[in-house]
Chain A
Amino acid sequence: MPVKVLAFAGSPRRFGNSETLLDWTLAAMAQEPDVVIEKVPLTEANINPCRGCNACEKLNKCVQRDGMDILHDKIIQADCIVLSSPIFCMGLCSQVKALVDRAQVFRSRKYVLKLPVVPPERKGKRLGVFLATAGQDWPHVFDAAVPSVKCFYHVIDIKDADIRYLMINKVDEKGAIEHHPTAKSDAEKLGRDVILELKKRLGEGQAS
């Protein structure tokens, strides 16, 4: 079985710094054998924000019919979910926050309806990757984004210890990340390491 990677390019700006970081990571993943990658730019994904209606607590599905209908299933099926976002105003850009908030349906499934999000045998065999870029050079510029990212992964059954992070500050103008001393090599190493780790974990599952 190939390793399935679902990657969200979260920035409203196509081919900017956070998407470049994502592309480097995905290119390294694609170098490994038996990897299937799907990249979803949120600019084309048609994801409305959560309406806070809480209907998912009863229905086990969202009342909104939009791009999440397809992505919901893909999120469950993927072995690795990569999320990339620029930092806007000290947080995730609102497009990514909309995706995170729409994961409420998984939270309802898990904590209100007490139903599994992924089958038990897949637990611990999924990894999350969060990639971010920020124009500001403050080291704490990512701090407020991370808790929301953890929420997102938590409700889709990827625990904190299974989230990998690569967050690059001080890259503002389009293309600035190309000049960063380590971003590209770090992204490539991360991509490779994540696939190797997943193969190890998935292999263990098959052996038993």
Chain B
Amino acid sequence: MTITVLGISGSPRRHGNTETLLDSFLEGAKDAGASVEKVVLKDLNYTPCRGCNACHKTGDCIVKDDAPVLYEKMFASDIVAVASPIYSMGITAQLKGFIDRAQYLWARKFILRTLDFPEDYIRKHKGVFISTAGQGLSHVFDSAFPAVTALFHDIGFDYVLNIVANNMDKYNGIKNHPTALKEAYEKGQQIVRELENSTKNA
């Protein structure tokens, strides 16, 4: 079985530092034999969560747009890499808007108890977070992680890897970073090979 990798770019800016880093990761995954697809959030049509809690009763979101479709696509993937630049010490409002829409999955898991991911399922689904920040602060990504953790919990993925590069302002862009793109490429290869080996052995 070919491993499927879905990359989700959460930047409002096309082909910027974060998307370039995601591209490098996906390139590595592809070269390791995976089937790779990239979705750009800014090209989708979705609105943020309204907090209406209707999903707490029905398990479905009342808003019919591209968000639930993308969640279905995530469920059909073995590896999901979510990418966002850091804006104001967090993920972009665009990615946060998409993540907040996972509330219907949370409701299925914790209120309606109609969704459950067995340990074995989670082990076979890997989540990756990819990010860049202009700031050089070492803790600049810390506040992004909890929302990403919440996302991968909601979809039953094992959140195993962060590929992050700070100090973009100093380097004047990811292309001038000494190691980030190469590392992302290698990690893309590595995660596909590891998942392939673990499922073979299972």
Interface residues of A (CB under 8 A from B): 11-13, 16, 49-53, 86, 88-95, 97-98, 100-101, 103-104, 143-148, 150-152, 173-174
- Given A49-B93, A89-B146, A147-B90, 18 extra CB contacts under 8 A: A52-B11, A52-B87, A89-B147, A89-B150, A90-B146, A91-B96, A91-B143, A93-B48, A94-B96, A95-B93, A97-B87, A97-B90, A97-B93, A97-B96, A147-B89, A150-B89, A151-B88, A173-B53
Report whether A90 and B48 are in contact in the complex, using a CB–CB cutoff of 8 Å: no
11 A-B contacts, Cβ less than 8 Å apart?
A12-B49, A49-B12, A52-B16, A90-B149, A91-B143, A91-B146, A92-B90, A92-B96, A93-B51, A148-B88, A150-B89
CB 8 Å contact bits of B90-101 with A (1 = contact, 0 = none): 111110110110
Given A49-B94, A92-B90: A147 and B143 within 8 A (CB)?
yes
Q: Chain B residues with Cβ under 8 A from A16's Cβ?
A: 51
- Tell which of A53, A97, A148 touches B13, judged by Cβ atoms closer than 8 Å: A53
Q: Chain B residues with Cβ under 8 A from A101's Cβ?
A: 87-88, 92-93
CB 8 Å contact bits of B127-155 with A (1 = contact, 0 = none): 00000000000000011111101110000
Report whether A94 and B93 are in contact in the complex, using a CB–CB cutoff of 8 Å: yes
Report whether B88 and A51 are in contact in the complex, using a CB–CB cutoff of 8 Å: no
Q: Chain A residues with Cβ under 8 A from B150's Cβ?
A: 89-90
Report whether B100 and A88 are in contact in the complex, using a CB–CB cutoff of 8 Å: yes
* Minimal beta-carbon separation of A169 from chain B (angstroms): 14
Report whether A148 and B89 are in contact in the complex, using a CB–CB cutoff of 8 Å: yes
Report whether B147 and A90 are in contact in the complex, using a CB–CB cutoff of 8 Å: yes
Give the residues from 23 to 70 in chain B that come closer than 8 angstroms, CB to CB, to chain A.
48-53
Report whether A50 and B87 are in contact in the complex, using a CB–CB cutoff of 8 Å: yes
Report whether A88 and B87 are in contact in the complex, using a CB–CB cutoff of 8 Å: no
Given A51-B12, A89-B150, A92-B96: A152 and B50 within 8 A (CB)?
no
* Minimal beta-carbon separation of A66 from chain B (angstroms): 13
Q: Chain A residues with Cβ under 8 A from B151's Cβ?
A: 89
